[in-house]
């Protein structure tokens, strides 16, 4: 090959996800003999997408290589921690909606 590979696209399904969720990395590359993605993913030659479940904000770098050289592209994902309700109480005397007494005959 006289030219390095071409990365036409490197995308992420959802750029912002809650902790524990998955999203998908996908790519379109031509003229590459090998493809890899950093951050523990590794070799992805022969694939066009993979699911990921990051536990923190992460930048992923796709590296496409052939005999003429290497090219890279990056995407990032932001992971947020959803709120946790640890206690919920209710006081029926302070609920915003009250059923009229007329709905309960005999009271």
pLDDT in tens, 22-37: 999 999 999 999 999 9
Looking at the predicted structure, is the pLDDT value of residue 1 above 90? Answer: no
Q: Hey, CA dihedral for 60, 47, 27, 55, is it positive or negative?
A: negative
Residue 87: predicted pLDDT: 85
Q: What percent of the chain has pLDDT over 70?
A: 84
Average pLDDT over residues 43-55: 97
Q: How far is CA 92 from CA 68, 78, 95, 103, 104, in A?
A: 73, 40, 5, 17, 17
Q: How far is CA 6 from CA 3, 33, 59, 85, in A?
A: 9, 11, 20, 48
Average pLDDT over residues 74-80: 97
Average pLDDT over residues 28-55: 97
């Amino acid at each position: 090959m006289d030219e390095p590979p071409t990365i036409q696209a490197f995308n992420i399904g959802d750029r912002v996800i809650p902790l524990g969720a998955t999203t998908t990395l996908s790519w379109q590359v031509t003229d590459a003999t090998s493809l890899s993605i950093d951050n523990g993913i590794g070799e992805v030659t022969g694939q066009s997408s993979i699911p990921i479940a990051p536990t923190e904000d992460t930048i992923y770098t796709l590296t496409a290589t052939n005999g003429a050289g290497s090219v890279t592209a990056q995407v990032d994902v932001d992971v947020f921690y959803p709120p946790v309700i640890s206690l919920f109480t209710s006081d029926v005397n302070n609920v915003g909606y009250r059923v009229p007494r007329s709905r309960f005959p005999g009271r």
